[in-house]
Amino acid sequence: MKRILFSGIVILLPVLLFAQNDKKDSTFSVSDYYIKAVKEKPYDESKLDTVKNTRVALIPPEHFVFAKDIPGYIHPGTSSSIQVKDIEGTSWPVIDKVMTKEHLEGQGVKLVSREEVELHSGLSGVIYTVSFETKGVEFERMMMFAGDYNYTIWLNANYPVSLKKIIIKPLLSSLLSANIVLK
């Protein structure tokens, strides 16, 4: 009985501690982190992992594993994921023009922010952060579109809002590490 109680406390304590969402800390600027990440964290191109059946390579966050059902990575302990798609023959600015607040709301999500970014590889792009609810749990999704005039990298990073403080930086670092693999 003591083992079960102890196990329950060990499992629930981190969830309860991180579920406390202070409004001051819940705002997070991609631009602020990106600037700090470039200055503080070295980019190691040798850690790039090419996602099967795509021309996209990225550095997955620590403890994320390759997903069997989707092209990308998952972290089962946090219900977080990075889904990788690639679009040939379309530039990200074309996609950016149709990604309006109304379009996103029509897809069942609410626009939180839109920020232009430059990836470690030098590619430019944009990250949309949207919010949605699934089975009573609030989630956010960072949708990054980046690339050149003929090829677009499309990454979706999903995470529970309650874990945003601890998961956002590793996810963002991974998104910004993406690059196009030449075939």
Q: Indicate whether 59 pLDDT > 50.
A: yes
Instruction: Please give the pLDDT value at position 34.
Output: 52
Split into its structural domains, the chain has a count of 1
CATH number, domain with residue 105: 3.40.1000.10
Residue 94 lies in a domain: yes
Q: What is the pLDDT of residues 145-161, one digit of tens each?
A: 999 988 999 999 999 99
Q: What is the mean pLDDT of residues 24-31?
A: 54
Residue 143 lies in a domain: yes
Residue 16 lies in a domain: no
Measured CA distances, 98 to 22, 94, 102, 103, 106 (Å): 33, 7, 9, 7, 12
User: Which domain, by its residues, includes 79?
Assistant: 22-180
Q: Where do the H-state alpha helices sit in 87-181?
A: 92-98, 101-106, 164-176
Of 88 and 25, which is predicted with more confidence?
A: 88
pTM confidence score: 0.79
**92: three-class secondary structure by DSSP:** helix
CA distance 100 to 151: 21
